[in-house]
Amino acid sequence: MQRSRLAFWIFLAPVLMWLLLLIVLPHLDLLTMSFRGEDDYGDMVWTFQNYMNFFTEPIYWLTFVRTALYAIITTFITFLLAMPVSFFIAKLARKRVQGALMILLLLPFWVSELVRIYGWMILLRESGVINYFLLNLGIIDTPIEMLYNDATMIMGLVYTSMLFMVVPLVSVMESLDDSLIEAAHDLGAGQATIWRTIIIPHCKPGITSGSIVVFMLALGNYLTPNLMGGKNSLWFTEQIYNQFIASFNWSQGSAFGFLLLLLSSLIIWVGLKVTGQKLGEVAS
């Protein structure tokens, strides 16, 4: 087809501006800032001190490890919950119900994460709705504080990222030919065998893309750990926020930010390598 230089530049210019000014330069700035520090005279110098602080202060790297670990647990629980749900929608529900279920599934996720977490807080807190019912039904005598612990926080993280696991899983399950399962059934395979040898292997691309997105969202989440996790359940994004906004120590915050970026890129890269996928495929 005929090429037009003008058209090419009209497309390229805004895209270059966007990617260079808003993606590349800021992240280079983040990297350089993370190596800046003050010497004894208060002058700006290049230093590894910010990274040293991270490794010498247990609170920092422990939070880091904790965040990564909990993000992985969240991803796994989300996967366990999403699998039967997507199987139901793709393979069990009648065709008419299917569409309605998909809409129902999508709707809550268009509502701001904050509103959803707020809803959970009203439900779970000491003076909350669940405690009210438990007390009135005589199941408990004194209200239980269900907020501000790790289990609740993980539940919140699972809740906020559920959709990003279910949608890719439903779409890969829909592409699975029913006759494969029928054939396996006729040949005498049990439920477990069918899941292990047919359904799971077929769903692998969906599982990978869902897991990557859920992991990313959990790792970079600020709201849910902050509002549901309470005082003693630190999340690494909170450390970054504290360095930036509370302590005004931007270079320390940059170092933390860069470490988080490294961690998320690394785990996503490993995930893609292990399953032999490309980022472009996962995204689309």
Partner 1 sequence: MIRSLPRSKSYDWSFNFFILLYFAFLFAPLLVTCVLAFNDSNFPSLPWNGFSLDWFIADGPDRIGLFHDEQNLRSIVTSFQTAFFVAIFSVVVGTCASFLFEQEEFRFKGILYFLMLAPLVIPGVILGISLLLAANTAGTFFDERFGLDFELFRPSFWLVVLGQFSFISTFVTLVVSARLRKFDHSLEEAALNLGATRLGVIWHITLKFLRPSIIGAGAVAFLMSFENFNTTLFLVGSEPTLPINLYLQVRDGSTPVINAVSLMLIVGTSVLALVNLYFTKKEE
Residues 185-244 close enough to bind partner 1 by CB under 8 A: 185, 191, 212, 216, 219-223, 226-227, 237, 240-241, 244
35 lies in the binding site for partner 1 (CB under 8 A): no
Place of tokens 């090429």: 3
8 lies in the binding site for partner 1 (CB under 8 A): yes
Buried b (16+ CB within 10 A) or exposed e, 48-64: ebbbebbeeeeebeebb
- CB closer to partner 1 out of 73 and 180: 180
Could you say which residues in the range 107-136 bind partner 1, by CB under 8 A?
107-108, 110-123, 125, 127-129, 132-133
Burial class (CB in 10 A: 0-12, 13-18, 19+), 119: middle
- Least Å distance, CB 46 to partner 1, is 16
Which residues, listed in sequence order, are joined to residue 36 by a DSSP beta bridge? 46
d(CA 232, CA 255): 23
88 lies in the binding site for partner 1 (CB under 8 A): yes
Q: In the set 84, 140, 175, 246, which binds partner 1 (CB under 8 A)? A: 84
91 lies in the binding site for partner 1 (CB under 8 A): yes
Could you say which residues in the range 134-173 bind partner 1, by CB under 8 A?
159, 162
- CB closer to partner 1 out of 40 and 179: 179
Total interface residues for partner 1 by CB under 8 A: 91
Burial class (CB in 10 A: 0-12, 13-18, 19+), 256: buried
- CB closer to partner 1 out of 45 and 129: 129
Q: In the set 72, 73, 77, 81, which binds partner 1 (CB under 8 A)? A: 81
80 lies in the binding site for partner 1 (CB under 8 A): no
d(CA 63, CA 66): 5
Name the segment binding partner 1 (CB under 8 A); options: 57-65, 145-153, 200-208, 262-270.
262-270
d(CA 284, CA 282): 6
User: Which residues have CB under 8 Å from 271's CB, separation 6+?
Assistant: 208, 211, 212, 215
Could you say which residues in the range 14-33 bind partner 1, by CB under 8 A?
14-16, 18-19, 22-27, 29-30, 33
- Map residue 175 onto helix, strand or coil: coil
